[in-house]
Structure 1
């Protein structure tokens, strides 16, 4: 029988992580109130816990691959190994990106984007996933919206992560709505992507991602916390690192925007306000 990986001595791992976090400026994650050591230690405990699970799966898969003679099981264990490896890489990449965003060292390059063409291209793979799950994905971008000048990378991460979450938590036959507009009162809509005027004179635009699933009010204040996952919410067993919404918030702030979340009457809405043109120092 395969053995589950156990980190028998966590002290060296913990010491190295704490030293790395301090050296890389992770002071930004804690307030200046004398609690830095406690904050970093709690953060390191969470990282070790998150790293251990995929490492255990990888080790177990390797051991089983070494003993099985069944070709179907061999493929199954390879897929499990690949999935665990991908999860580990994603977790580390997300941690590094979050660290750079926290310390304002994440590079940002702006370019002009025509969202009428760009947004549907980003949404296309999620439309395929939604169709497979019998979900309804609607995408609407205001035809009069002017070109925007922002970070392509950051905006793609934000939209993709919100669509990924919407697919994760929406039941079969449920709706997912992605809407881009430049009229502030449309940001108040919660359950329909309607036609009509969608542009105001101004320097901002809005992106709204809404899905037909309600999050209990007590969970809402924690949605942007690192490693937070809504209990029993992942109906499709999609998994994730628990850092997605933390990154979304930081990427939005990097682009000088704001993000709000509302959940009521069977719908959850993430509404982002961004500048039409990002001003860099």
Structure 2
């Protein structure tokens, strides 16, 4: 399967050069796809040279995690790129890239299912998520203070930063019995929800308008948001592997019989009729 990953990443790179060079986010995509292609080659080499030792498994585990996070990032960048494209050829190209990117992620997840997850890896991924949130906060302070949504943004980003620091503290140097995975799953859900809200505020401010020199802050902030979300998705995937979330069964409502009520002779009966103590209808007295 790792050879398939290499083929898919090369295909993704070729499609980028064929359709998206010079487009908005094009250079960013080129850098990420180039890195993904190299990671696929490195992962294939690691798998080929693996001797089955714990060290080899850890190397494969780390390579697969890096690959997955970057593939999540590329998929999101493709989504951000599409609204800016003009022309049918570019639109067709981005559609093909999205399909190949989805295929790449699917194969990477299949490879990943054979690799174990440990608390050290979860600790590392939580640290990566924390660093991404701090980068987002730094971008805000550097470029976007003093605007209409700035105070709201600052409070929200600081809230996510506090939450992720709390998550990292609970995962750092812990063994399996010391980590409440259900709680961590809920925390990740909050991070994703709050980050989506933060992004909507950035978009709103961009629509209202920013100073020319601060426009790059909007771009960098959305890059940082991409890193936050891709890190959160990977951490969520790791926790799902360790403790699958039970799907809540829908509550089945009793089926009500809507057919008309009839007596033993087959005659329709009014369900609201009054009966005497002998069970006879009082209407016929």
**TM-score, with length taken from structure 2:** 0.30
* Higher RCO (CA-CA < 8 Å; seq separation 6+): 2
TM-score, with normalisation over the residues of structure 1? 0.30
User: Normalized per residue, which structure has more helix?
Assistant: 2
